[in-house]
Amino acid sequence: MQKVIVIVGPTASGKTKYAVEKAKSIGGEIINCDSLQVYNDLRILTSFPKEEETFGVKHKLFGYLNYDEKISAVSWARSAASEIKKTFHSGKVPIIVGGTGLYIKTLIEGISPIPEISHENRKTANSLAKTNFQQLQQTLYNLAPELKEIFTSKNHRQLIRAYEIFLETGKSIKYFTSLPKIEFIKNVEFDINLLEPERNELYQRINSRFELMLKSGAIEEIESLLQKMNLKNRMEIFKKYPIFNAIGAKEITLYLDGIYSFEKMKEVSMMNSRHYAKRQITWFKHQL
């Protein structure tokens, strides 16, 4: 059975360097699995691999989307499966590298055939969740009592998702999860490698890397993107464009708007990055 190597870990754990060294030693090609490195507009803030860091190793699915394009775990998994097959065909070893765990899990395990949710139904579900979450929860329990055993009030996001599906289809999420999953690739073995530096070392790396990003032009990069968007409503930008999930993107924007001082921007960005790394580690240990 053909093998796909998967290298995962929190932000700043050294995945790029490790993957390139691995690829050089076994004749591999790297396939990106970072939901922000798929965008071409924030190469500094998303730690885009520099040409001198790749050492001639082919890198795929990096920077192929513009800031205003959307991506999902499903669309990424389809693209990744295609690139895996092409890599095998060329006689190379596919090496998936990134920190977006849901994408990797979707590729490996497949996904239930849940229909796309319309913008209107998503908006309705979120509005009800804000005004009367208890009603949303009870509607779902009336539809499918077994959901009480799966989703409690603590499962806030999962309940909203289940309600979106109900609005879209009139059916319980359990109906779709009981159906055969959509598989993206078959007859391959996934070899998962988790990089987890010691916590203090990881946090030092995170802080140092953000300092380097600022020196390398991260602020100018955000300025350029904001000019391209030409939107005054910052909250609209943050909600509408997933690229602003990049750690530091919102914080630098608030600095440019005079809301954060330079030191405050750095402090919050580094703190958010450390918190994100902690969540990533927990997710990988429990989900993969």
The model's pLDDT over 239-271, given as tens digits with 9 standing for 90+, comes to: 889 999 999 999 999 999 999 999 999 999 999
Is residue 223 within 8 A of residue 256, CB to CB? The reply is yes
| Domains defined along the chain, listed by start | 2-112+181-194 (3.40.50.300), 119-177 (no CATH), 199-277 (1.10.287.890)
Q: What is the pLDDT of residue 100?
A: 97
Dist. CA 105–CA 62, nearest whole Å: 19
**Average pLDDT of span 144-149:** 87
Q: What is the pLDDT of residue 177?
A: 92
**Average pLDDT of span 105-134:** 94
pTM, two decimals, is: 0.90
Q: 16-62 pLDDT, tens per residue?
A: 999 999 999 999 999 999 999 999 999 999 999 998 999 999 999 99
* Confidence band of 234 (pLDDT split at 50, 70, 90): confident
Q: What is the pLDDT of residue 1?
A: 87
* Confidence band of 12 (pLDDT split at 50, 70, 90): very high
| Listed residue (13, 4, 6) closest to 197, CA to CA | 13
The alpha carbon of 83 is separated from its chain's Cα centroid by a whole number of angstroms, namely 18
**Per-residue pLDDT for 205 more than 90?**
yes
51 φ, ψ (degrees, to nearest 5): -55, -40
Express as a percent the part of the chain with pLDDT over 90: 86
Q: What is the pLDDT of residue 232?
A: 76
Non-local (6+) Cβ contacts of 49 within 8 A are: 16, 20, 59, 62
Express as a percent the part of the chain with pLDDT over 70: 100
Calculate the CA dihedral of residues 127, 131, 132, 133 and round it to 10 degrees. Answer: 60
Q: What is the pLDDT of residue 155?
A: 86
**Per-residue pLDDT for 235 more than 90?**
no
